[in-house]
Amino acid sequence: EVQLVESGGGLVQPGGSLKLSCAASGFAFSGFAIHWVRQASGKGLEWVGRIRSKANGYTTAFPASVKGRFAISRDDSKNTAYLQMNSLKTEDTALYYCTRLFGGDAFDIWGQGTMVSVSS
Partner 1 sequence: QSVVTQPPSASGTPGQRVTISCSGSNSNIGSNTVNWYRQFPGTAPKLLIYSSNQRPSGVPDRFSGSKSGTSASLAISGLQSEDEADYYCSAWDDTLRGPVFGGGTKLTVL
- β-strand pairing of 34-39 with 60-61: unpaired
71-75 CB contacts, 8 Å cutoff, 24+ apart: 72/34, 72/36, 74/34
**96 touches partner 1 (CB under 8 A):** no
**107 touches partner 1 (CB under 8 A):** yes
First and final C-alpha spacing in the chain: 39
Closest CB to partner 1 among 57 and 120? 57
**102 touches partner 1 (CB under 8 A):** yes
Residue 96 CA to residue 82 CA, distance in Å, equals: 12
Residue 16 CA to residue 97 CA, distance in Å, equals: 20
Could you say which of 11, 28, 61, 115 contacts partner 1 (CB under 8 A)?
61
Could you say which of 1, 55, 77, 103 contacts partner 1 (CB under 8 A)?
103
Among the candidate windows 9-17, 26-34, 61-69, 78-86, which touches partner 1 by CB under 8 A?
Answer: 61-69
Summarize as ranges the residues that interact with partner 1 (CB under 8 A). Answer: 35, 37, 44-47, 49-50, 61-63, 97, 102-108, 110-113
